[in-house]
Amino acid sequence: MEGPRLSGIGMTSARTRERLVQRLQDQGIKDQRVLDRIRNVPRHLFMDEALASRAYEDTALPIGFGQTISQPYIVARMTEALLAAGPTPKVLEIGTGCGYQTAILAPLVEEIYTIERISSLLGKARRTLRELRIRNVHCRHEDGSVGWPARAPYDAILLTAAPVAVPPALFEQLSVGGRLIAPVGPEGRQELIRYTRGETKIRQEVLGAVSFVPLLSGLQR
């Protein structure tokens, strides 16, 4: 039986979620697996109750600590871009945040290794993912710029915060043929880029302009 946080309230109605999915389709999201996850993951669980009535708007919202839960379109776009090249068994996520992007992606891959530098955020994300019975996610409190080398190589790496340039350590942890999806650039001039690692060089493809919080180094409680 669903607990009170999962129970049906007006703002989580099927009609409200369907409007969001339709909007994402209108903006060009085509992967039905991704659209189904947007439809079925209860986004309101990943934010404070005070903002829950806005959970199914296509907008980024604050989650504390100077961080945001990403706009659903951006989550869908990044997930679709990551999955586009075929099966992606093992993924490294840099910036767990509240865990919403993690929850969207989790059933579409085999394993996710996710890193968050803010301990309090990571604790909340863990609890929400556990509540949703998502069990293929491995969490670590760490500086995202160093990655998680002990679990490398990864078939894909996803950054949910923007570095001015992608840390070299992350490319080193990407398998040959693997993809890295990241917002890159200084505030106000960021682009979403898909990098593909080849045998001798890394190819990059610009997917569009975006606006993300910066990727910061160091740990925070």
Catalytic residue among 7, 13, 53, 70: 70
Longest Cα–Cα distance in the chain: 53
Q: To which H or E segment does residue 163 belong?
A: none
Distance (Å, whole) CA 165 – CA 215:
10
Hunting for tokens 């019975």 — which residue is that? 133
Alpha helices in 13-151 (DSSP H): 14-26, 32-40, 72-83, 100-105, 119-131
Catalytic: 70? Answer: yes
Count other C-beta atoms under 10 Å from residue 73's C-beta.
19
Distance (Å, whole) CA 157 – CA 148:
11
Active site residues: 70
